[in-house]
C-alpha cells in the first residue's frame, strides 16, 4: 500500500571510517524527508566506528545498528543491509558510503524523481571531492526527458556503477533479489561491478534526477598495496558480467561495448594502484578477458593498443557519458 510519505531505507556499510563517519551520518540525520530508516552495517571495524554508529542509534530511533563481528567486505555489508530493508515496510531503498556526504534534500529529491514514473530505479548526479578540489559529475549532460530506456541508451553502461547515487523500488529489488546481489568475494575491490550491469538489464528503464545530491570522497594517491593478489576476485566479477550480457542477448551490442570500455578504464586504474609483484599476472589475465570479449564483438580492436597506452599514460579519468 502506497502511503503519503512512504518509509525509505538508507543503507550505510561501515568499515574503519571513524574519521568521517560522524559527518556522513549527520547528513542523513538532517534529511528534509523525515520518514527514513538508516541501516548501519558495521563490517568488523577495528577502530571507533562502532561507537560512533551506536551513538546515532541511541539518540535517534531511525538509526538501526547491525554488527558483522568480522570483516566480510563491502558486498556482504550491502547485502546484509538489503536483507534488513526487505524485512521492513519500506517502499524505497538508497545507499550512502561511510565516508561520503549527502545533501539535506538527497532522499526527498530522489523520491520526488522516482515516484512520478514507473521506473524501478532513479539516478542522480554527484560531486567528487577531496581536500584539494571538487569535481562535479556530468553523467547525463544534455539528456532530455526524465526516463531513459536501457536498450536505447547503451552509454548508461559506462556511468558510475556505485549504488549510492540511486534510489530503488523495494518491490523491484525484492522480486529480483537472487540476481541483484553484491559480490561477496574476499579481497574484492568494486563489489558492485556485475550488480550494476544486472541492475540496468533487469530494470529496462531508469528515471533521472539532474541534481548533484551526493559528495563522493576521493583519496589522492590511494593505493591497493596489499599482501594478497586482488586479481582473481576482480576477474570473477568481469566474467560474471560478461556471462549475464550473453544470457540476456547483448553480445555484439553497443551496451556490451560500453561495459567493456568501462572495464578498460578500470584496467588502467587498477594497474596504477596495484603492487608491482602482481602486475604481470594481472595484465595477462585481463588481456585474456579482453581477447575473449573482442571475439564476441563486445570490444573493438582498439584494446590491442593497451600496451602503447599503458607506457605513455600519466592520468586516468572518466568521460562524460552523454555528449
Out of 217, 247, 273, a domain closes at: 217
Residue 63 and residue 195 in one domain: yes
**Residue that wins the pLDDT comparison between 27 and 268:** 27
Residue 46 sits in the same domain as residue 142: yes
Backbone angles phi, psi at 124, to 5 degrees: -130, 170
Q: Sorting pLDDT into bands at 50, 70 and 90, what band is 142?
A: very low
Q: What is the pTM of this model?
A: 0.87
Mean pLDDT of the chain, nearest integer: 85
Assess if residue 223 is contained within a domain: no
Domain range for 59 is 8-217
> Can you name the residues that pair with 207 across neighbouring β-strands?
122, 147
Q: Are the C-beta atoms of residues 203 and 118 closer than 8 Å to each other?
A: no
Report how far residue 288's alpha carbon sits from residue 192's, in angstroms, rounded to the nearest whole number. Answer: 22
Whether the pLDDT of residue 134 is over 70: the answer is: no
Residue 135 maps to a domain:
yes
Whether residue 150 sits in one domain with residue 76: yes
Q: Is residue 2 part of a domain?
A: no
Residues 207 and 261 in one domain: no
Pairwise pLDDT comparison (193 vs 52), residue with the higher score: 52
Residues 17 and 147 in one domain: yes
CATH number at residue 21: 3.90.550.10
Whether residue 303 is found in the same domain as residue 196: no
Cα–Cα distance, 78 to 188 (Å, whole number): 13
Higher pLDDT, 153 or 10: 10
DSSP string, 125-146: EEEEE-SS-EEE--SSTT--SS
Same domain for 281 and 208? no
109 contacts 209 by C-beta, under 8 angstroms = yes
Interatomic CA distance for residues 163 and 25, integer angstroms: 17
* Count of domains observed in the chain: 2
Query: Tens digits of per-residue pLDDT, 165-180?
Result: 999 999 999 999 999 9
Q: Which of 184, 217, 250 is the C-terminal boundary of a domain?
A: 217
Amino acid at each position: 500500500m502506497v502511503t503519503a510519505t512512504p518509509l525509505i531505507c538508507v543503507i550505510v556499510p561501515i568499515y574503519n571510517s571513524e574519521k568521517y563517519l560522524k559527518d556522513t551520518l549527520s547528513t542523513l540525520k538532517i534529511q528534509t524527508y523525515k520518514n527514513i530508516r538508516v541501516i548501519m552495517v558495521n563490517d568488523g571495524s577495528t577502530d571507533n566506528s562502532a561507537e560512533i554508529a551506536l551513538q546515532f542509534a541511541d539518540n535517534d530511533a531511525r538509526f538501526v545498528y547491525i554488527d558483522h563481528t568480522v570483516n566480510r567486505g563491502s558486498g556482504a555489508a550491502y547485502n546484509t543491509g538489503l536483507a534488513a530493508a526487505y524485512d521492513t515496510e519500506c517502499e524505497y531503498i538508497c545507499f550512502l558510503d561511510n565516508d561520503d556526504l549527502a545533501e539535506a534534500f538527497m532522499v526527498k529529491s530522489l523520491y520526488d524523481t522516482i515516484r512520478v514514473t514507473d521506473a524501478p530505479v532513479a539516478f542522480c548526479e554527484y560531486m567528487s571531492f577531496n581536500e584539494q578540489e571538487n569535481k562535479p559529475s556530468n553523467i547525463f549532460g544534455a539528456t532530455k526527458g526524465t526516463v531513459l530506456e536501457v536498450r536505447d541508451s547503451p552509454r548508461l553502461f559506462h556511468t558510475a556503477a556505485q549504488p549510492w547515487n540511486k534510489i530503488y523500488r523495494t518491490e523491484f529489488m525484492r522480486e529480483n533479489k537472487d540476481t541483484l546481489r553484491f559480490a561477496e568475494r574476499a579481497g574484492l575491490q568494486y563489489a558492485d561491478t556485475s550488480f550494476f550491469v544486472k541492475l540496468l538489464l533487469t530494470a529496462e528503464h531508469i528515471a533521472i534526477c539532474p541534481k548533484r545530491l551526493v559528495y563522493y570522497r576521493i583519496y589522492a594517491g590511494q593505493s591497493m598495496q596489499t599482501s594478497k593478489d586482488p586479481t582473481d576476485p576482480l576477474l570473477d566479477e568481469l566474467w560474471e558480467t560478461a556471462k549475464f550480457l550473453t544470457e540476456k542477448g547483448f553480445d555484439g551490442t553497443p551496451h556490451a561495448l560500453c561495459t567493456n570500455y568501462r572495464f578498460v578504464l578500470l584496467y588502467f586504474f587498477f594497474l596504477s594502484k596495484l603492487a608491482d609483484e602482481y602486475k604481470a599476472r594481472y595484465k595477462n589475465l585481463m588481456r585474456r578477458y579482453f581477447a575473449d570479449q573482442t571475439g564476441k564483438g563486445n570490444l573493438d580492436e582498439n584494446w590491442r593498443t593497451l600496451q602503447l597506452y599503458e607506457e605513455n599514460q600519466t592520468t586516468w579519468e572518466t568521460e562524460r557519458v552523454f555528449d
